[in-house]
Structure 1
Amino acid sequence: MDAQNLDWIKVAHVDDLPEGRVKTVTARTTSICLSHFDGQWAAMDNHCPHQRGPLGEGSIEKGTDGKCWIRCPWHGWDFDPLTGAPPGGHEDTGQKVFPLKIENGEIFVGIEAEPEHERTVTDVMAETMVNWGVKRVFGMVGHSNLGLADAIRLQVNKGKLGYVGIRHEGAAAFAASAYGKLTGKPAGCLTIAGPGATNLLTGLWDAKVDRAPVLALTGQVQTQVFGPGAFQDIDLKSAFDAVSRFSQPVLSTSNHAELMSLALKTAIVERDVSNLIFPDDVQTIPSEKDAGSPEGRIGGSKVTPSTEDLNKAIEMINGAKRPAIVLGYGAKDVRDKVIALAEKIGAPVMTTFKGKGLIPDTHPLAAGVLGRSGTPIASWFMNEADLIISLGSSFANHTGIAPYKPIIQVDFERMQLGKFHPVSLPVWGEIGTFCEAVMPQVTKDSDAADQVSELVERWQIWREEKERRLTEERGQGIHSAAIFKVLSELCPEDAIIPVDVGNNTYSFGRYFEPRGQRILMSGYLGSIGFGLPAAIGAWCATQDFEQYHGRKVISISGDGGFGQYAMEFTTAVKYGMNITHILLNNSELGKISKEQRSGEWPVWETNLTNPSFAAFARLCGGQGHRVTDSADLKSAIGEAIAHNGPSLVEIITDADLV
C-alpha cells in the first residue's frame, strides 16, 4: 500500500486507549480495530473472517512466548496486531492491516482513496422517491436495511431528502401519518426486517383509516434464507397486506423504478399505505437504470357532480329555513369554499372533531365541534336544523349527525355516500367543485331564521358556563377548562396542534377555541401515543413545505399517551425541533377510569406511576415546566411557546374535572 496515495483519517487520540486494550474506531466508513500493546499501536480490519465478529470488542492476549495477540470476542480466533496473521490452524490467511501514524498525540490511519460510488437498485428507487416529491424519511438504520439506508443517505447529503432517526419504529409511522394528514404528501418510514417492520403497524393503521399517504420501506433478510425461519425472517408481505393498499417485495428481477413509482402513485391517489420490502442482498445490486417520475402518471382530481344532483341540492338549500353545514376533515383543502357557501345562505358551520379548527371559532357562523368531544352550541343547531349539508364528514358515531334530518351528503368517494344509513341526497363529487357549482344559484330564504344572532347568544351562554366551571377546582389538580382557556389565548393563530387521545383530547375539543390553527389527531383508530410523534412529523412539514414555514407546533397529551413514546423527546432535542408539548398529568388513564365507573365496573389498574416529566424534559436537553396552580399557567405556557426548541409543560390536573 503506497502511503503517498492514501487518505490519512484521524480516528482517535493517544489518551483514548490505555496500554493493553483494543477499541473499535471508524475511518470514513471503514470499521477498524485499534490496538495499544507493548508501547506499540496497530490498526486492523475490525471484522473477524470467521463470522465478522467485532475484534475491537475483543482483548489483547499474551502467549507463553510473550507474543501479543488480538482475540475475537465471539469465538476466540487470534490475530497478530502488526501483521494480521493468525497463529495457524485457521482456514483464512488473516486480517488486513492499515498503516498508522501519530502526530501531536492524534492517531491517523491510512486508507485507500474512496472509490467512486457504484449506483445500485436502491439508488434508482431513492431517486424515484425524490422525483415523486418525497421530502422526508423517518426511521431506524439497522443491519437488514444498510444498502437502502445508504441510498437515502446520498439523497440527504445532496439536500434532496430530509431524514429523522427515531427511537422506536412506531413513532416513525405516527410521524409519517401526521405528515401525510397535514400535507397530503407521503413520507417514508425506514425499518429493518422482523420486529422493526412490525413495529410500524399501529401507526400505519392510523394512516390507513384516516386516509393519509405513507410509504413504508422495510428491510428483509437475504432472499436465499426466505422461509426456513432465519433470524428475523417473517412473512412481511402477509403481515402488511391488510394495512397497505400496495405491498410488494423488491427482487433482483424487479423493474425497480416502476415498482417505486407504483408504490408512490398508490399512496398519493388512494391516500393509503404503500409498502416495499427490501431483501438485504438485493439492496446493493448494481444498476444503471433511470429513475422513475410522476410525469404523465396522475390526472386531475376534480369530480363534478351530475346536473340532476346539483339541481336537487339547490332546490333543497333554497327551501330550507334553518340550514346547517357539517364541515368534516375530508373538506380540509377546500374549507374556504365551504365557508363562502355558508356565508351565502347564512348557515351555521359545525365541524366534526377531526375537522376542529377548519373554521375559526371567531367566525360569525362557527358553531364549534359536534358530538362527544363538542360544544352545546353545535348540538343546539343540529337539533334545530331543517337541512344538514354534510361536506367531508364520514358520519362517525362520535359525531352524531342526526340521521332523521334531511341530509345532503357530498363526497368524491361513492362508497362513503350513505355508508351507515340512507341520506336524502347523496351527491358524488368533489366538495370544492360542488360548492362552486351551487353558489350562483343558492340564496338565503327571506323567511329564514337569523342564525347569526342565535350563534352570538349560544356562544355567550357557553362561555359563561365555561367560566363557572373554573370555580370547580378542589385542590386535587387544575381544571382542564383553565388549561385550554389559557392555551386559546396564547396559541399562535397559525400553530399546528397534534393531539393524543383520552380525557385531555375530549377537554381540548370542548374548551379550546381555535382561531385558525390546524389540528391533527388519530381519528378513526384513536391510538394512544399519537401526540408527540405526530408533532415530530408536523415539525418536519414546517421545514419541507413553504406554506408551513415558521409555524409553531404545539402537541397535547395525557401522561398515559406521553409515556408511550416519551423517549422521542430526545429525537426532538437531537434535531432542534421547535415543539411545545402540553402534558396533562393526572397519574391515571382517566378516560378508562371514567368508562369503568359509568359502566358500573370497579376502577381497576388505571393508575400510573410517573416521574417528573418536566425534569425528564430538562434531562433530555429541552425546556421543562411543572405547573400545579392555575395562576401559573399563563407564564409557563407562554415561556414554553416562546422557546425556540423542544419544551414541555407538565400540568397536574384533576381527573374528574374534564
Structure 2
Amino acid sequence: MTTVAELIIDALADHGVTSVWGVVGDALNPVTDAIRREDRIEWVGVRHEEAGAFAASAQAQLTGELAVCMGTVGPGALHLLNGLYDAKKSHAPVLAIVGQVPREDIGTDFFQEVDNDVVFADVASWSGTLTSVDQMPHLLEEAVNTAISTQGVAVLSIPGDVGALELPKGTRSCAFVRPAPPAAADADTVRAVASVLNEAKRVTLLVGQGARHARAEVLDLAERLQAPMVLTLKAKDGFDDDNRFEIGQSGLIGNPATAEAFATCDVLFLLGTDFPYRNFLPTGKTVVQLDSRGQHVGRRTPVTHPLVGDSRLTLQSLLPLLEHQESSRHLDAARKVYEEWGRLQAHLADPDYDKKLFGRLRRKVDNPERRIRPELVAAAVERHAAPDAIFTTDTGMSTVWLSRFVRMTGGRRLIGSYNLGSMANAMPQALGAQALDRARQVVSFSGDGGLTMLLGDLITAVSHRLPVKIVVFDNGRLGMVKLEMEQVGLAEFGTVLHNPDFAALAQAIGMHGVRITDPRDVDGAVRDAFAHDGPVLLDVLTNPDEIAIPPKPTLEQGWGFAIAKSKEFLVAPE
C-alpha cells in the first residue's frame, strides 16, 4: 500500500524535483521518511527554514522548474515566509509543504497551531490543507499546477495524522501540467509600434530579464535602431556578453551614461522589465513597453504603446517592419560616457590606488584606516571566476560592486533578491544553486550584515558538501543603509556591526576560511579560493566609507552627504 507522503514524494520525483529543503519534525516526519527512501530526491536539512526557502527559490529561478521546501507545524512553517516572498516576487515556481496540527485539533488553538491559509494568503497563489485521502492526488495536482502556471508559490498543509495514511487501492498517479506556450503581441499593435520607431530619431532601450530568451532579437533591434541599451540588474544575466550597445544599469547602482541615454531619447522602449524605480525613468517621452504580463504594463511610467506578448515572438514580428537608423550619434554619445566612467571606476580596482597621488588624497577623506576597497575585490572575482559561474548577491553594497565589476559573460548566471530586496539571501541562494550541480562554480557576494542573519547555514555547506565560494564584504556596516542615511543628511546611526573573525568561524565548522586585510593579497586569495575543491569563505576587510555615486547626483544629495558627515563627527563616540 502507498501512503499519502509516499505518493507526494513519488510524484515530485517523477516530475523532476531533485532536492527538498527544510528542517525535519513531527507532522512532516512521514514525508521526510518517504524522501529517505526515494533515491531521486536529496533531502537538504538546513539550520533555518528561511534558508531552505531561499535555496528553493534560487533553484526555481535558475531552472524555471518547480522547486520544493518544507517547514513543519507553526514556527517551522512561519520561518519559510521571507524566502517564499522572494520566490513570489521573482516569479519562481515553488511548492512549500508545511505541517499542521492533527485534524481533530485544528481550530482549538492547539500547541504550535497557526492558520496556514491565513498566514500564507498573500504570498501564495494557491494554499490548501489535505484532510482526507480522498483528496489525493487532485489536491497535490492543484498545488503544483498552480505554482507552475502562475510561476508562483503554492502551499500545501499536511496535518500530523494525515501523512502516514494509506491510500485506497487503485489511487491514480499525479498528472502535472506544463506551462502554456508563449504568444506574440497583437499584429496591429506591432505595426503601430513599428511606425513609431521608424519615425523616432533617438531610441533608448531598457531591457529586463523577461527578454533574456530573446537575446538575438534584442541585439538585432538595437542594431536597427542604433539604440543604447540600459540593462536592469537581472538582465546582466544574458546581455553583458559581447554587446556593443550596453551601457550598464540605472537606479542607485547606475552610471552617468544611463542618465544621458534616458534624458536625450525621444522614444523609450521597455522590454521584459518591471523596473520599479520610476524616479530614474525619464518623463515626457513616447514610451513603448513589451511584456508577457499585461499587469506590468504602465505601472511604473505612462505607456503610449503597450505590447503584451512574448518578447522573442513579438520582436520576430516587429523586426521585419523596421527601417535601419542611419545615425549612430545617440548610441555613440551614451557609449562614450559609459566607457569613460568605466575607466575611472577601474582605477579603484588597482591594489596600489591608495598609494598614488590622487588615491592618497582621497584616502584621507574616505579611507583613513586603509582598508581594502571593495572594487578591488569584485574585480579580482571577475578575473578568476569560471566562465559558467553562478553568482548570488546580498541586497546592498555587495550588489553594487558586482554590478559594476563582474561581467555575466559566457555561461555565467546571476540571481539575488532583486524584487523583494531581502537581507541574507545570497548565501542560501548559493546553496540552492550549488545543489543543482556540485561541479559548477557558485560564488556568493555576501554582506557582513546579510551573512550573519542566517549564519548558521554555513554549516549546511559543510554538512552537505556544497562547495560554494562565499566572498564576505566585511566593512562592519549595514552599508546601503549608511549610504541612504547620509544621502538625505542624516548622521549614520545603528549601522555599525561588531563582527567576529569570519574566517576563523568558518574554520571552526570545517570550512576553509581566509581573512584578507592587505590589498596586495586579494588577487592571490581569490584565485586560491576558486581552486579549492570544497566550500570557502573569504573574509575581506573592506572600506566602510566607499561611496557609490548615483548616476546623476543632485545638489541636494551632495549637501546631504556633507551635512551627514558633519553630524557624525559632532556626535561620534570617544
TM-score (norm 1): 0.77
Q: 1:555 and 1:522, CA in 2 relative to 1: closer, same or farther beyond 3 A? A: same
Is 1:125 aligned with 2:14? no
**Structure having the higher Rg:** 1
Is 1:504 aligned with 2:387? no
**Does the 8 Å contact 1:247/1:275 carry over to 2?**
yes
CA distance in 2, matches of 1:452, 1:598: 31
Partner residue of 1:477 out of 371, 384, 392: 371
Tell me whether 270-279 or 354-363 shows the greater mean CA deviation.
Answer: 354-363
**Does the 8 Å contact 1:218/1:277 carry over to 2?**
yes
Q: 1:583 and 1:461, CA in 2 relative to 1: closer, same or farther beyond 3 A? A: same
Deviation at 1:578, TM superposition (A): 2.2
Deviation at 1:633, TM superposition (A): 1.0
Tell me whether 559-568 or 125-134 shows the greater mean CA deviation.
Answer: 125-134
Partner residue of 1:620 out of 501, 509, 514: 509
Deviation at 1:163, TM superposition (A): 2.2
Please state whether the residue corresponding to 1:123 is helix, strand or coil: helix
Deviation at 1:355, TM superposition (A): 2.2
Q: 1:169 and 1:433, CA in 2 relative to 1: closer, same or farther beyond 3 A? A: same
**Does the 8 Å contact 2:103/2:161 carry over to 1?**
yes
**Does the 8 Å contact 1:128/1:260 carry over to 2?**
no
Please state whether the residue corresponding to 2:233 is helix, strand or coil: coil
Partner residue of 1:463 out of 342, 351, 355: 342
Percent sequence identity over matched residues?
30
Q: Aligned ranges for residues 328-407 of structure 1 at < 5 Å?
A: 328-360=208-240, 362-397=242-277, 400-407=280-287
Q: 1:426 and 1:189, CA in 2 relative to 1: closer, same or farther beyond 3 A? A: same
Q: 1:579 and 1:399, CA in 2 relative to 1: closer, same or farther beyond 3 A? A: farther
Partner residue of 2:106 out of 212, 226, 237: 226
**Does the 8 Å contact 2:35/2:42 carry over to 1?**
no
Q: Aligned ranges for residues 563-582 of structure 1 at < 5 Å?
A: 563-582=452-471
Q: Aligned ranges for residues 56-75 of structure 1 at < 5 Å?
A: none
CA deviation profile, 1:260-314 (whole Å, cap 9, x unmatched): 11111111110110000001111111113122022xx446321221111110121
**Does the 8 Å contact 1:353/1:374 carry over to 2?**
no
Deviation at 1:454, TM superposition (A): 4.0
Partner residue of 1:655 out of 544, 561, 569: 544
Tell me whether 206-215 or 254-263 shows the greater mean CA deviation.
Answer: 254-263
Tell me whether 479-488 or 195-204 shows the greater mean CA deviation.
Answer: 479-488
Is 1:162 aligned with 2:42? yes
**Does the 8 Å contact 2:228/2:335 carry over to 1?**
no
**Does the 8 Å contact 2:149/2:180 carry over to 1?**
no
Unaligned ranges ≥5, structure 2: 354-358, 548-574
Give the equivalent residue in structure 2 for 1:492: 386
Question: Whose strand proportion is higher, 1 or 2?
Answer: 1
Q: 1:149 and 1:163, CA in 2 relative to 1: closer, same or farther beyond 3 A? A: same
**Does the 8 Å contact 1:193/1:220 carry over to 2?**
yes
Deviation at 1:619, TM superposition (A): 1.6
CA distance in 2, matches of 1:592, 1:442: 45
Deviation at 1:331, TM superposition (A): 2.2
Partner residue of 2:424 out of 520, 529, 541: 529
CA distance in 2, matches of 1:509, 1:176: 24
Deviation at 1:152, TM superposition (A): 2.2
Deviation at 1:399, TM superposition (A): 7.8
CA distance in 2, matches of 1:420, 1:445: 28
CA distance in 1, matches of 2:92, 2:285: 31
CA deviation profile, 1:539-582 (whole Å, cap 9, x unmatched): 12336xxxxxx431101111100001112111111122121111
CA distance in 2, matches of 1:320, 1:227: 63
Q: 1:163 and 1:404, CA in 2 relative to 1: closer, same or farther beyond 3 A? A: farther
Q: 1:381 and 1:496, CA in 2 relative to 1: closer, same or farther beyond 3 A? A: same
Please state whether the residue corresponding to 1:148 is helix, strand or coil: helix
**Does the 8 Å contact 2:257/2:335 carry over to 1?**
no
Deviation at 1:172, TM superposition (A): 0.5
Q: 1:603 and 1:370, CA in 2 relative to 1: closer, same or farther beyond 3 A? A: closer
* More relative contact order, 1 or 2 (CA 8 Å, 6+ apart): 2
Give the equivalent residue in structure 2 for 1:250: 130
Is 1:271 aligned with 2:151? yes
Deviation at 1:451, TM superposition (A): 5.1
**Does the 8 Å contact 1:183/1:541 carry over to 2?**
no
Q: Aligned ranges for residues 416-455 of structure 1 at < 5 Å?
A: 416-446=296-326, 448-450=327-329, 453-454=332-333
Deviation at 1:362, TM superposition (A): 4.4
Give the equivalent residue in structure 2 for 1:292: 174
CA deviation profile, 1:104-134 (whole Å, cap 9, x unmatched): xxxxxxxxxxxxxx41012112222223332
CA distance in 2, matches of 1:182, 1:343: 29
CA distance in 2, matches of 1:378, 1:491: 27
Please state whether the residue corresponding to 1:439 is helix, strand or coil: helix
Give the equivalent residue in structure 1 for 2:524: 635
Q: 1:626 and 1:398, CA in 2 relative to 1: closer, same or farther beyond 3 A? A: farther
CA distance in 2, matches of 1:570, 1:645: 13
Q: Aligned ranges for residues 43-82 of structure 1 at < 5 Å?
A: none
Is 1:540 aligned with 2:435? yes
CA distance in 1, matches of 2:91, 2:180: 18
CA RMSD between the two structures: 1.9
**Does the 8 Å contact 2:4/2:133 carry over to 1?**
no
Give the equivalent residue in structure 1 for 2:18: 135
**Does the 8 Å contact 2:133/2:165 carry over to 1?**
no
Deviation at 1:462, TM superposition (A): 1.3
CA distance in 2, matches of 1:621, 1:444: 59
Q: Aligned ranges for residues 19-30 of structure 1 at < 5 Å?
A: none
Deviation at 1:601, TM superposition (A): 3.1
User: Which residue identity is paired with 1:532?
Assistant: M
CA distance in 2, matches of 1:444, 1:484: 38
Deviation at 1:361, TM superposition (A): 5.5
Count of residues in correspondence between the two structures: 529
Tell me whether 597-606 or 230-239 shows the greater mean CA deviation.
Answer: 597-606
CA distance in 2, matches of 1:494, 1:338: 22
Deviation at 1:595, TM superposition (A): 2.3
Deviation at 1:604, TM superposition (A): 2.2
CA distance in 2, matches of 1:542, 1:324: 38
Q: 1:644 and 1:344, CA in 2 relative to 1: closer, same or farther beyond 3 A? A: farther
Question: Whose helix proportion is higher, 1 or 2?
Answer: 2
Give the equivalent residue in structure 2 for 1:57: none
**Does the 8 Å contact 1:559/1:588 carry over to 2?**
yes
Deviation at 1:634, TM superposition (A): 0.7
Partner residue of 1:598 out of 487, 499, 517: 487
Q: 1:361 and 1:129, CA in 2 relative to 1: closer, same or farther beyond 3 A? A: closer
Deviation at 1:375, TM superposition (A): 2.3
User: Which residue identity is paired with 2:423?
Assistant: I
User: Which residue identity is paired with 1:458?
Assistant: V
Q: 1:493 and 1:404, CA in 2 relative to 1: closer, same or farther beyond 3 A? A: farther
